[in-house]
A = this chain, B = another copy of it.
Amino acid sequence: MEPIALSAALASFTDLWSPRIVTAVNDYDVRVAKVEGEHVWHVHDHTDEFFLVLDGELHISLREPDGERTVVLPKGSLFTVARGTEHKPYAPIPTEILVLEPTGTLTVGDRHDDVPDHVDATTGHALA
């Protein structure tokens, strides 16, 4: 492979909540996505999910054993959602994120609320 510039990868599409796979690392995919507004409550029963905010600001609401909370990730911050934790991402402004999870992981998890039209239920798309 050749090096990939995040800026070029992100410039290659405009869809929101529709991740592109930028590289594979063993049986994991590194994806980038443009997001704004609400995603959907969902849970990955068997895997953690890593988020890095490249630009903008990502909020992730979490339903944890002790109750519900929302973590706020400004640009340049990272967070791992633990497997089995219901969560809902939300971006108050146009935001770009890098996500890491096992290849084949669905954006809406193993269980989820009704998926709104603006959310792409996908295991990630190839870069154009």
Q: Which candidate, A20-28, A86-94, A107-115, is the interface stretch facing chain B?
A: A20-28
A interface: dominant SS: strand
Q: Is the CB of A76 within 8 A of B3?
A: no
Which residues of chain A have a CB within 8 Å of any CB of chain B?
1-7, 22-26, 28, 30, 47-50, 52, 71-74, 76-80, 82-83, 98, 100-102
Write 27 A-B pairs (CB below 8 A) sorted by A numbering. A1-B79, A1-B80, A1-B82, A2-B79, A3-B71, A3-B72, A3-B77, A3-B78, A4-B77, A4-B78, A5-B74, A5-B76, A6-B52, A6-B77, A7-B76, A22-B78, A23-B50, A24-B48, A25-B48, A25-B50, A25-B100, A26-B83, A26-B102, A28-B28, A28-B100, A30-B78, A30-B100
